[in-house]
Amino acid sequence: QVIVLNHPGQIGNGYSPVLDCHTAHVACKFKEITEKMDRRSGKVLEVAPKFVKSGDACMVILEPSKPMTVESFQEYPPLGRFAVRDMRQTVAVGVIKSVNKKDPTTKGGAKKK
């Protein structure tokens, strides 16, 4: 779940900012924006929106460019919070609802939602 704080334009699928989670700084891709929701109630406003802008809350599937260690916010809160940074500014903040873990024997990063 991501809340967009300060972004001059619109954020769509394929946006690639830097994700700061705990001490890790990894470039991540917004693979898919699954739903846009109300910030206060959490009620879904739009399913599969084309873009989100400042002030919006949304559920996003994020894909890191290299492996990174994260956990869901419910299981381990310090590794479940993250900030999205671009142009030396914090663009968005969020919490990790679930993690699609990769097999440790294969190469590739974990996917987060």
- The domain in which residue 91 lies consists of 2-105+108-112
Q: What is the pTM of this model?
A: 0.82
Task: For residue range 32-79, list pLDDT tens digits in order.
Answer: 999 999 988 889 999 999 999 999 999 999 999 998 888 999 999 988
Structure tokens at 20: 């700061």
Residue 104 is predicted with a pLDDT of 61
Domain CATH for 35: 2.40.30.10
Residue 108 is predicted with a pLDDT of 47
Overall domain count for the chain: 1
